Amino acid sequence: MARLGENCYGKSRVRISRITRIQDPQKGDRHEFQEWTVRVLLHGDFDASFTATDNSKILPTDTMKNTVYSIARDSKAATIEEFAMELGDYLLHENAHVSKVGIEIEEKAWERMVIDGVPEATAFRLAGPEVQTVEAVRERGKPWAIAAGIDGLTILKTTKSAFTGYIQDRLTTLKPATDRIFGTRATVTWDYMSPSQNFAAARTRIVSALLREFAAHNSMSVQHTLFDMGKAALEAAPEIARIHLAMPNLHHLLADLSPFGQDNPNHIFAPIDEPHGAIEATIER
Question: Catalytic residue numbers?
Answer: 11, 61, 251
CB 170: neighbour CB atoms within 10 A?
4
- 12's CB contacts (< 8 A; 6+ apart) are 39, 40
Please, what is the Cα angle at 233 between 227 and 236, to 5 degrees?
Answer: 145
For residues 61-84, b (16+ Cβ closer than 10 Å) or e, as one string? eeebbebbeebbeeeebebbbbbb
- 110 near 34, Cβ under 8 Å? yes
Between CA 3 and CA 103 the distance in angstroms is: 27
Between CA 180 and CA 266 the distance in angstroms is: 8
- 33's CB contacts (< 8 A; 6+ apart) are 17, 18, 19, 20, 110, 124
